[in-house]
Structures are given as C-alpha cells and as structure tokens.
Structure 1
C-alpha cells in the first residue's frame, strides 16, 4: 500500500470527528476516542449518575478504510449553512464526509479522478492526452478556459488559490 497521502482533512463521520486521508489506492479515516457531547451533557444533567451506569469510555473509536477500486460514485450535498456532505458509495458501504463548503470541490474532484484512474501511480507515465473531437465542444471550451486561466495565473493576475478554485469549478461542469 502507498503511504503518501494525497490529501488529508477533518470530517464529521457518524456523529464523531475523524481524520481522513486520501491515498492513490484507498481512503482511510480515524475516529478518536473520547466522550461524545450527548454523553457529557447527560452526565452533567444527572450529576454523574449516567456515567456510573454506562461508563465513560468513548464509543465509535477506530479506523476504517475503503479501497478506491470499490468506490462506485461520489456525490456532494449541501448540509447546512457552512458544510457540504460528500457521500462516497462503495460496494457494501456508504460513508458521509462532512466538510466546509470551500473544501468540498477539491475533495470531490480528487476522489472522482482517483475512481476514473486519472491520478497516475508514482513512477508511472500517463498516456498522452487525447485530442478533443469536433463533437466535444463542451470539453473543448473547458480546455480553452483552463488554458486561459493558466495564462492569467502565469501573468500574476490570479493567485494559485484562485486558479485552483476556478479549475475545480470548470472540471466539475464537465
């Protein structure tokens, strides 16, 4: 297994915060141990009696991994005012990653590229790009837009962050 993460981020998974790492061949996340907010509130309201009855150990802690080859789709949905839910559907499992709106396009783009095989393995030379045909005018216009963005970035008109955000937006429309 490859040990260099392409991207890492924090997410809210199944009621717990998790550290998520995306690799070329898998997605891994770790949910730490600790007492949930609900359990802490119940303990405070009952003067600690609920802790005595149920214990103070955290639940839901652990790690999980999904191989990229098992992912069948990646979907985004708005989740409140500040978050987007990235739904990863894999054989036998569906995981919701809850991330800030501004991080969602980059995460979805990376996962989609991995599923489609657009991120080459280390040391692997990708095949030359296919020239767009006359029937793919939408793809052609997207390529032209990306070239124009690159020129604006190279001229110093756009920052690297602005370029990356716009590039993600254009690729998502393809």
Structure 2
C-alpha cells in the first residue's frame, strides 16, 4: 500500500485478514490468499480430510476500494471481547472492518473527518490540528498456546459460552 496513506491497519473483513489503508480520497483494502478460520477448523476436526477434498485455495483474495466521497456513514459496534466493527456505509456497499477496541475510535474519527471535509486533500493547506496518527500496534500478549489456555479458563469460569470459545479458538489457530 502507498506510503502517502493517512492511516494503515490490519483488519478482519468477511472472514479474511486484510491490510487496510485510508487515503485522503479513498479507503483501500487488500485480502491475501489463505484459509479462513472455518476451513482451518474443519480441516483440524476432520484430520485434514476436508482440506484434501476441497483444496486450500481461497477465492476471496484481492483489492477493493471505496471513494471517500461515496461514504455516507461510519458506525462502530462492539464485536466480542477484543474487537469492534467499524462499519463504513457507502453508496451500494457496506464494509465491516473488525479491529481491536483501542484502534476503532481513531479509525472512525479519521473517516468521519474525511467525509466531513475536515482534513483537506494533500495539495491543499495543512489543517490546524495534525492528522490522526495510526495507533501503535499492541505487542502480542502471549503465544497462541497461552492464549488458548486463557480462553479455556474463561470458558471454564463461565465467562465465555462454548460458541464464543470455539469461535475465538478457531481465530487463534488461523493465525498460527
């Protein structure tokens, strides 16, 4: 993604990891090839038989873009224990960027400012306040095995339901 982006971040879009960049005039995201958490979980549970039967290719790879001028709304919604969805509504398209809770306010603020014209295009005069900076990536708390142990403890304590546990476990395994 280009170096003149106002903000870049990692997101989870439609079950796939994506690299997202916000520019003065557009929002772009690139989803790489890889397996979804659902496919990886099915492969794990069937001892690899489902992966042999269906293959490991993914058709969701590619780059997409929404022009800032077509964005009509930016909304945030909590999505589980660790994530927030930043929902961008544009003419003919709605996209959910799933990001950590601490990143969502900055992303929403930048997109809102762009839509409202509070941040001038790169060729215009500089804004009175500095542009919103991308939040520093949070250091990885622990190894995936430790995360799985903590997740199991939350489930055993009754904090997480079995469904929430299974979904988060599949997500952690997909990152391995």
Q: Do both share a fold (TM > 0.5)?
A: yes
Distance 1:96 1:45, change over 3 A: same
Q: Tell me which residue corresponds to 2:106.
A: 106
What SS does the corresponding residue of 2:56 show, helix, strand or coil? Answer: coil
Between Structure 1 and Structure 2, whose CA radius of gyration is higher?
Answer: 1
Give matches, 1:1-174, under 5 Å: 4-125=4-125
Which consecutive aligned stretches of 4+ in structure 1 deviate over 6 angstroms post-superposition? none
Aligned partner of residue 42 in structure 1, secondary structure: helix
- Cα distance in 2 for partners of 1:36, 1:80 equals 18
* TM-score relative to the length of structure 2: 0.66
Tell me the TM-score normalized by structure 1: 0.67
What SS does structure 2 have at the residue aligned with 1:19? strand
CA RMSD in angstroms, aligned pairs only: 2.2
Which protein, 1 or 2, shows the higher relative CO under an 8 Å CA cutoff with sep ≥ 6? 2
Residues 105-134 of structure 1: per-residue CA shift (max 9 Å, x gap)? 11111000100111111231269x9xxxxx
Residue equivalent to 1:136? none
Gaps of 5+ in 1: 130-145, 147-174
The count of corresponding residues between Structure 1 and Structure 2 is 128
Give the whole-Å Cα distance in 1 for the aligned partners of 2:41 and 2:84: 27
Distance 1:18 1:49, change over 3 A: same
Contact 1:74 1:88 in 2 (8 A): yes
Deviations 1:72-128 (A, max 9, x none): 00011111222111110000000011111111111111000100111111231269x
Point out where structure 2 has 5 or more consecutive residues left out of the alignment.
130-176
